[in-house]
Amino acid sequence: MHKMETVIARSAATWQSALQWFIVVILLILSSCKLPTAADDPSIVSNLRFTPSAFDSFTKNTEVQYTLKNPIAVNISIVKRDSSGQEYLVKTLAEDIHETKGTHRHTWLGDTEKGLFAPIGTYIGIVQIESQRFEATVLVFHF
């Protein structure tokens, strides 16, 4: 009987050791995998637009509007793109704000970070969610 108990004890120890190694391997695999997040969904933002899509910033404002499929943190900015394709920040409307699922609006007065009226031209509203970028254009004019 003594030999049988020894065999069982060794067998249990072997299984316990194998289970520990199995857990270590699974943890290593999981730590190298990135689970998908809401931000990975290319349809997280929909209905992105400016209302109105053209405005005289001397007399009116515009709103950047969008709908989120899930709650998530967003950054919203206005940029100007020159003829070479280089972009310049005009105004930051929101930084790392946590929005709920649904439709959201942020007003742009047509101003710059310095509080001046933005010159006449086409501007790009950007809703940034982690590495994804969503764009809509707006035209500023002055009478």
Rounded to whole angstroms, the Cα distance separating 62 from 45 reads 19
- Is 32 strand, coil or helix? helix
Distance CA 68, CA 139 (A): 24
Q: Quick: pLDDT tens for 47-69.
A: 999 999 999 999 999 999 999 99
- Distance of alpha carbon 21 from alpha carbon 13, whole angstroms: 12
Tell me the pLDDT tens digit for each residue of 80-102.
999 999 999 999 999 999 999 99
36 preceded by cis ω (within 30°)? no
- The pLDDT score that the predictor gives to residue 62 is 97
* Whether the model pTM is above 0.75: no
**Mean pLDDT score of the chain, rounded to an integer?**
87
Q: What is the pLDDT of residue 40?
A: 74
Whether the CB-CB separation of 111 and 118 falls below 8 Å is answered with yes
Distance separating alpha carbons of residues 109 and 43, to the nearest angstrom: 28
Determine the pLDDT at residue 129: 94
Q: Is the sign of the CA dihedral 74, 75, 76, 82 positive or negative?
A: negative
The span from the CA of 29 to the CA of 78, in Å, is 41
Amino acid at 99: E
At 118, is the pLDDT very low, low, confident or very high (cuts 50, 70, 90)? Answer: very high
Q: Reduced to 3 states, what is the DSSP secondary structure of residue 131?
A: coil
At residue 35, the pLDDT reads: 55
In this predicted model, what pLDDT tens digit does every residue of 122-135 receive, in sequence order? Answer: 999 999 999 899 99
The pLDDT score that the predictor gives to residue 114 is 96
The percent of residues in the chain predicted with pLDDT above 90, rounded, is: 66
The runs of H, that is alpha helices, within the chain are 2-32
State yes or no: pLDDT of 34 exceeds 70.
Answer: no
- Spatial distance between the Cα atoms of 95 and 110, rounded to a whole number of angstroms: 18
